[in-house]
Structure 1
Amino acid sequence: MTMTTDQAGGLTRDRLHSLLASVCAQAGLVSDDAELIKFTNNAVFRLRREPVVVRVAGSSAARSRVSTVVRVARWLAGHDFPAVRLLPGCEQPLQVEGHLVTLWEETPEVGPRPGGGDLAAVLRRLHTLADPPVDLPEWTPMTEVRQRLDEPEDLSPGDHAFLLDECDEIEERLAALDYVLPAGVIHGDVFMGNVIAGPGGPVLCDFDSTAIGPREWDLAPVAVGRLRMDYPWDEHTPLAEGYGFDVTRWPGFPVLRRLRELKLVTSVVPVLRSNPGIRPQWEHRMRSFRSRDQTVRWQPYR
């Protein structure tokens, strides 16, 4: 027996391409030969005929954050911050066939590969940016994880119960942490995959998790990436040096590591059936996460 819901509207790859055609027709764009470049908790297309990226919220958790994404993008643009820009001239987000969609100007990836030091400079600037949106949410990471677990696709009852128990345990441990950095605006999902090698330098993207919270959290994903992911480079060392704080030396880091790994496991739970190609990697992650084996290396979802 598996636990399955269909709250994401059956966003299979075939359904996504049909939805993309409707989005482009509504926005006056051409969807021919579009490339699906990501399909996890969001589906992201790059249009071939125009320099536009189309982002479809693929789960209830993703849909609940779309308005925040739009507000944050406009705030960053107002400060000329190096971040992706919403496509001008159309209402954002679009509502198409029951789905929330955002359109973005494509940032050509033609610059040098960004490294941890580049990310440190971008993060330091983000963390000192003035006048954040007044309605920016507080950082509540378990809300997002539990939303994903509310709409599982082909998840066994045992795995589902285990992940819910992990939410409770990690939430309790988070509440006991003594943060040392000042709280404020955080990106919420800072890893090198959310940094684009733009023509004018590194550009930040993906603001689904932007919130008011502990700055330690913005330094944790790259640190966890060095320890857990099968990446060819160590980006954590230059990030820590450039930012001036090594989160792995802070006593609360093991809790943030467990939280980050929980998010990396649950991020695709709502699309395990819709996108079957990710299942082998998800099962690999789930086995090692459940057994608490921190020596196993993970690979990106494809």
Structure 2
Amino acid sequence: MTESRASEPEVTETGAPCARSPAMPVTVTARFAFTTDAPTDVLLQFEAAAIPEQRIVSSECRMSDADHLARVTAEDDIGERIWLDVNGRFEVAYQAVVEVRRIVPDITALPGLAPHDLPGEAVKYLLDSRYCPADSFQSFVGSEFDGTSGGERVEAIRRWLAENLVYASGASHSGTGARDTFVERRGVCRDYAHLLITMARASAIPARYVACYAPGVEPPDFHAVAEVFLADPSIAGGGAWYLVDATGMADPAQTVKIGVGRDAADVSFLTSFGDSEFHGATVSARIT
């Protein structure tokens, strides 16, 4: 089956006028395949999200036939998930051109918000999740980053990760959490994002996991970054989400969001509710 999707109109997240970076067209592609030996429910999330900060100029998705296919809204209304009922081999070929127009401030100048001033939808991103045990890091962040707060604290965490972790392909697995990465001091983008999120939450700064496409990622793959909730200087008392890539590979002005969640468990590109065999993926993102 093949789907082509129209673009969404562009508006600001707050409803108020705001300056955005120049449109940055990025072409993203993804191909992957998997096989199930029996009828199995599978949840996919791999398409660029149609949201105010990025416009889907064009997209095409070719998928094998399935016994059932349905689209459902993903976390925080960012992107969509695809429910499948699959029996046998299933292939996906996806391509999209996305214009990224995102506000990219210097977050070190942005204050944080007191927890009691946070909007309800941000509160869950202060709490522990499967891969991000923030409570157990409170003592560490309090001593290591003493004297910093808000965006300055986030930048201090990012620098600490850059100086103390080694990026190593294959260094972790699907069960690796932030505590494991902290001890072993190595990992991939997923692990860097989990540890930054964990330390931010331990600092009372809401932080969430972002699955994305990003030019410059080596080796090319689905990428993961963090997003932190800090003050929005354009709205008194307001806040906004800001991208932070602890690996340093992705430029927020060129990053194409797929979806967000508490951690990787919420936004995996493929979740199988039964036995399946994954046959690999080919992913690319380039400025066009």
**TM-score where L is the length of structure 2:** 0.27
Give the strand-richer structure, 1 or 2: 2
Higher relative contact order (CA 8 A, sep 6+): 2
Give the helix-richer structure, 1 or 2: 1
